[in-house]
Amino acid sequence: MVQVADHRGITVSASTFSHYTYTFTWNQPLYSGLNRDTIVVEALQNGTLRWLDQNLQLSTTGKPIPPLPVRTLHINRTVNGVNHEVPFQVEDWGSNYRMPLGLASNASIFNGRSMLVFLVNHEVEKVTLWWDGRDIAKQTSYAWTNRYFTGDNPANRLLTNGILTIKISSDYSTITSSVKDGSITSTASFMRINGRDPTYGAGPSYVIHHGIVRDIVQQEAEWEDGILKSADDPATEDCPNVYSQLYFTLPANATYYTYALRLIFMQSSQSRKITELRAIRLSVSGGSQRTENGTSGGYPVSSNATGMFYNSSSATGWAHHWSEFISGNFGAGIMFTDSANEKLYIFDSIAGEKTGTLNVIGSGRIVEFNPVERYEVSFNTPLDVTWHGAVVTFKDEPIYRSSDETGLWVTVEHPPIISVS
């Protein structure tokens, strides 16, 4: 490959190859029978492939995407031996892929701040990323045509992919989701610290709406007058020098939306104390509780218990990847990968105790993802952490079905293995 840049910053690239092929290996017995097992693959310039912020396992060395004009890129999928072009989108990101900026211009060059996003499920055998090297190449309509999000209405704080609809409340504090023809809804709130729910001085930013394969919404949680102590000393900040950034994505062909909840703790001369950190609280309108409490033979150990699920002393004690409320074929819950599961316990070492919990409250049909719950933590050092996961509101295809152990849980616990050629 050859790249030439002149003093004006104009760059021209030429290569002797024109495509990469990603071959997917699925655990077919676990995925058999699923219809909504959509996985959002994020391809970075350095060759990394991600799903819910966790790197997908590669059986070969990853291959970086060349600095190509965005307009030249294409994605094809092979399903049942049939190869066809499919929708995708190229996005611009900042802050080391932690801040979404919007769709990339078709006049830009794919670079270290670019992300190529496409969708797969267990029927996909191969995905081919290819590019048209001609000067007269025009961007394919598969990179800009809205096929799934025709009902988006940001003015009314509503996004929909035709299957799942999410509605942001008028005070921007909650997201309610419902699935088409479903009887159960779920409502999520975010970033409660020391009993203080955040306020939102401005509305969310609809970074991408009427998207190609996903919408993205960004918001910043704020705590008016700071995060204060409770009644004992309400005038003193108890958790100073902390900032928050939230973003959510709604993929096509999915019954879930994803969340990324980021807290940035700055170096602080004043010690900060956290007695409670509730990253997400999900309340469900119906159903009975079911939560993963470890694994056995690659399958979840399902529990109907309520209370706190935390990092026990057993080797698999931290395996709490999901929790749901289910009634017949309907329900809702949250699920997340190994990476997010481990980050649930990020404050355990600071507390010196097991403080992070997945808390299930049966009476209110509530599940909480609480990195600080059982013991308080105190520190003044900097820390930048983001928790990722998915809120699922389902009809027919739950996170976990006890009768045959099938469900969307396999997407976070047994994602595909990929070879690149």
Of the two residues 420 and 272, the one the predictor is more confident about is 420
Same domain for 196 and 89: no
- If one compares 7 and 44, the residue with the highest pLDDT of the two is 44
Burial track 369-406 (b if 16+ CB lie within 10 A, e otherwise): bbbbbeebbeeeeeeeebbbbbbbbbbebbbbbeeeeb
Instruction: Name the residue among 6, 250, 218 with its Cα closest to residue 92.
Output: 218
Whether residue 270 lies inside any domain: the answer is yes
> Which residue did the predictor score with more confidence, 229 or 346?
346
- Domain termination site, one of 115, 147, 179: 147
Per-residue pLDDT at 331: 98
Same domain flag for 80 and 207? no
What distance in Å separates the CA atoms of residue 75 and residue 72, rounded to the nearest whole number?
11
Res 7: pLDDT: 78
* Per-residue confidence (pLDDT) for residue 366, from 0 to 100: 98
What does the angle CA 234 – CA 239 – CA 241 come to, to the nearest 5 degrees? 125
User: Residue 66 pLDDT more than 50?
Assistant: yes
* Total number of domains constituting the chain: 2
- Residue 419, in any domain of the structure: no
More confident residue, 311 or 395: 395
Percent of the chain with pLDDT over 70: 94
Amino acid making up residue 138: K
Structural domain contains residue 308: yes
Neighbours of 352 (CB within 10 A): 9
205 domain-assigned: yes
Report the C-alpha gap between 325 and 304 in whole angstroms.
Answer: 10
In the block, residue with structure tokens 């990253």: 279
Q: Is the pLDDT of residue 232 over 80?
A: no
Verify that 103 and 200 share a domain, yes or no. no
- What does the DSSP 8-state code read for residue 58? B
390 and 265 share one domain: yes
Same domain? 107 vs 45: yes
pLDDT of residue 237: 59
Spatial neighbors of 174 by CB under 8 A, at least 6 apart, are 168, 187, 188, 189
pLDDT in tens, 356-378: 999 999 999 999 999 999 999 99
Q: What is the CATH number of the domain that holds 318?
A: 2.70.98
DSSP 344-355: TTTTHHHHTS--
Mean local confidence (pLDDT), 61-83: 96
Query: pLDDT averaged over the chain?
Result: 93
Residue 98 counted as domain residue: yes
Give the largest CA-CA distance in the chain.
70
**Integer Cα distance of 169 and 187 in angstroms:** 10
How many CB atoms within 10 Å of residue 316? 11
- The answer on 36 and 162 residing in a single domain is no
Q: pLDDT confidence of 210, banded at 50, 70, 90?
A: very high
Q: Is the pLDDT of residue 312 over 80?
A: no
420: in domain: no
> Rg of the Cα trace of the chain?
22
Instruction: Please write the tens of the pLDDT for every residue from 242-271.
Output: 999 999 999 999 999 999 999 999 998 888
Closest-CA residue to 258 (of 42, 88, 104, 406) = 42
Return the pLDDT at 1: 60
pLDDT higher than 60, residue 229 = no
Q: Which of 49, 66, 67 is nearest to 58 (CA)?
A: 49
pLDDT the model gives residue 240? 85
Contacts of 353 (CB under 8 A, 6+ apart): 374, 375
Q: Which of 219, 102, 230, 206 is nearest to 171 (CA)?
A: 219
For residues 385 and 295, membership in a common domain is answered with yes
- Answer whether residue 418 is part of any domain: no
Distance CA 175, CA 167 (A): 6
Is residue 121 within 8 Å of 32, Cβ to Cβ?
A: no
Note whether 143 and 172 are same-domain residues.
no
Residues 96 and 236 in one domain: no
Q: Is the pLDDT of residue 201 over 50?
A: yes
Residue 106 falls inside a structural domain: yes
Structural domain span for residue 386: 154-413
Which two tokens mark 201? 């001085």
- Reply yes or no on whether the pLDDT at 234 is more than 60: no
Query: Concatenated DSSP letters for 368-403?
Result: EEESB-SS-EEE-S-EEEEEEEEEEEEES--S--TT
Given 130, 147, 164, the domain boundary residue is: 147
Q: Are residues 133 and 172 in the same domain?
A: no
201 and 92 co-located in one domain = no
Domain boundary among 147, 171, 190: 147
Q: Which residues contact 254 (CB under 8 A, 6 or more apart)?
A: 36, 38, 40, 161, 163, 164
Do 30 and 90 have their domain in common? yes
